[in-house]
A and B are shown apart, each in its own frame.
Chain A
C-alpha cells in the first residue's frame, strides 16, 4: 500500500518544529506502524537525510516506551493498544497520516517524535512507592488480600507509564497515570503506610485518557484518587 505521511520534525528541544510530508510506498499491510517508519527511515538514510526519531523498545506493547499521536489519537485509532501494536492494515491505500509527538508542557519534545517523560518519574518519586523494610522477605501468603482487591489493584497496575493519558487529556494532566498508581498501591495492604501522603494529581472528567490508554485503565481510579485525597485532607 502507498501512504502519505505528515510527520512532525524538530531538530532539538529549543528548535522550531514543522510538519514534513513523506511518501511511504510499497508498504506491506502486515507491517506494523514502526516497520513502516523503519522503511521510510532507510530510504531517508540512503538519501543522506536525517531519519525520523521516535521512541521504541519492546515492540510488543508491554514496555511503555513508544507513543505518538497518530491522526489525532495517542497510539493511533485502535483502542487498547500501544503504537507498536498498530498495524498498517488499519489504514487504507492512499491515506494521509498525521504523526505528532505527545503534547504537554511537562513532556517537552527532545527531537522529532521523542518526548521527555521524566515528569512521570517525579510523580513516582513523590509517592509511587511503598515502605519495604530490609531483611528476609516474608512468606508471600502471610498477608491476606481479598481476591476482588488484588484483581482491582492488578487492573490499575496494568499501567505501563507511556503518557498517552497526558497526551489525550484536554488539560494535559497525568491524572489517570497518578490515579492508576494510587489505586494500585492503595488497594493493597503493603501500600497503606503511605496512603495519606501519596502524590496527588487536573481532571475535568472528560474521559479522553481512558479512551487513549493502551491498557484501558478506567477513570474509576480517578474517583478513587479524589476519595483518597479528600480522606487525607481530614487526617
Chain B
C-alpha cells in the first residue's frame, strides 16, 4: 500500500487519477442526460423530477442535503481531473522546448488533439450553465423551482441553444477520446474485447450528445413548449 499514495507523483499516476475521476464524471453525465429526457414527459413530470432531486434521501436527509453532497463531491472530482490534466500538460510542455517546423498529425484521432481546449470550453460552459439554470443570474426570467419553464424560456433563445450544442460537441469529442483513453490508462485491454473499445466509445458518445441536444432542438422546433 505504501505506493498507492505516492502513485500521484508519477505521470502514470496522474493519468490514473484523471481516468478514475473521468469515469465518475462520465457516470454523472449519463444520469444528467437521462434526467433531462424527462422534459419530454411534460411540465409536471419534469418539475416533479427536479423537486425530487432536492428531496432525495428523505427522511434520512433533509431538503436539499443530497444535492449539496453531490455538488461538493463533483467539485472535488472536477478539481482532481483538472489538476492532473494541468500537471501532465506542464510536464509535456517542459519535455519539448523546441518544436518542429513541420509536423504531421500522427495521432489516431482528431478527438485526442482537442482534449485540452475542449476541457477549457467545457469548464467555461459549466460555469455559464450553473449561472443560467441553477443560480439563475444569467437567465432572463428565472423562477426558483420552476425547472420546466426555466428550461423552455432559456432554450427559446437561439444563442443559448447554439452555445449549448457547441458545448455538447466539445463534450462528445472529449468523451470519445476520454472513454477509450481511460481503458488504456486503466489497462482494460483484454485481447478479445479491446477492438470493441472504439465503437463502444463512439456509440456511448453519440447516445449522450444526441440525448442532450434533443432538448434545445425540441424547444426551438416547438415540440417542447410552455402550456
Contacts and interface: CB of A to CB of B under 8 A. Distances in A.
Interface of A: 6, 8, 19, 69, 71-73, 77, 98, 100, 103-106, 168, 170-173, 200-208, 210-212, 219-220, 222-227, 229-230, 232-235
Given A211-B106, A224-B187, A205 B177 contact: yes
B93 to A, nearest CB: 9
A233 B96 contact: no
Contacts of B16: 226, 229-230
B131 interface: no
Interface of B: 1, 3-4, 7, 10-13, 15-16, 88, 91-92, 94-104, 106-109, 112-113, 115, 177, 180-181, 183-189, 194
B112 A207 contact: yes
Contact of A223 (B107, B108, B189): B189
B194 A220 contact: yes
Contacts of A171: 88, 91-92, 95-96
Given A229-B12, A234-B4, A100 B92 contact: no
Contacts, number: 130
Contacts of A211: 106-108
B7 A223 contact: no
Contact of A208 (B102, B107, B184): B107
20 contacts: A19-B101, A71-B102, A104-B96, A105-B96, A172-B95, A200-B10, A201-B11, A201-B12, A205-B180, A208-B107, A211-B106, A222-B184, A223-B184, A223-B189, A224-B187, A226-B185, A227-B189, A229-B10, A229-B12, A233-B4
A104 B96 CA distance: 4
Interface centre among A105, A168, A220, A233 (most CB of B within 10 A): A233
A225 B12 contact: yes
A230 B3 contact: no
Given A69-B100, A104-B96, A207-B112, A168 B184 contact: no
A195 to B, nearest CB: 14
Nearest to B181: A205
Nearest to A212: B106
Given A200-B12, A222-B184, A226-B185, A103 B104 contact: no
A207 B94 contact: no
Contact of A226 (B101, B104, B184): B184
A202 B3 CA distance: 18
B108 A100 contact: no
